[in-house]
Each structure stands twice: as C-alpha cells, then as structure tokens.
Amino acid sequence: MKKIGAEGTKWLKIIHIISVTLWFGGIISLLALISGINLSVFDEVNATYRSMRIIDEYIIRNGAQGILITSIIYSIWTNWGFFKHRWVAVK
C-alpha cells in the first residue's frame, strides 16, 4: 500500500493535534462547568446542563472522531503501522 509523504504526514499531525485539543479542551470545559454549579438554583442547573450537552455533542464528539480517523490513517498509510510498535496499539 502506498504511504503518505512528508507533507501529508505533517498535515495529518496538525489535524490530529487539533482534534486532541478539541477533545481535551471540551473535557476541561465540562469539568469547569461541573465545579462551578449551584445545585439549589434550577435555572442555573438547567443552563449548565444545556451548555454541557452542546459541548459534548459538538466539541468532544467531533474531537474524538477526528482522533479516531487520524489514528487509523496513521496506522495504515504511514510507517508507524498499528502493530509495528506495541505502545501505539495500546494507546
């Protein structure tokens, strides 16, 4: 199977890093929202819940899908392989 060149690998790495940043930033945002919630006020709980759903559906999910897709592309079309290095398979 034909491998991706240096330029393609560079762009793949950029997309992978952006996806990881989206995923990790979404998780940190959820933790910040959870830690600052006042459970005695219904409107605040409702607004926090809606914000958490938006972050989950649009940021974390897209970041996770980007990570999965770029990881599969890395394993198939680069020299890294999927089973060539055990730590890549474990990751």
Provide long-range contacts, Cβ within 8 A and 24+ apart, for 82-86: none
86 class by beta-carbon count within 10 Å (0-12 exposed, 13-18 middle, 19+ buried): exposed
pLDDT of 5 reads: 86
Q: Average pLDDT across each block of 10 residues of the chain; the chain has 91 residues. List them in order.
A: 85 95 97 90 94 96 96 83 67 64
Domain ranges of the chain: 6-90
pLDDT of 3 reads: 83
pLDDT of 27 reads: 97
- pTM of the full structure: 0.82
pLDDT of 39 reads: 87
pLDDT of 59 reads: 97
pLDDT of 85 reads: 67
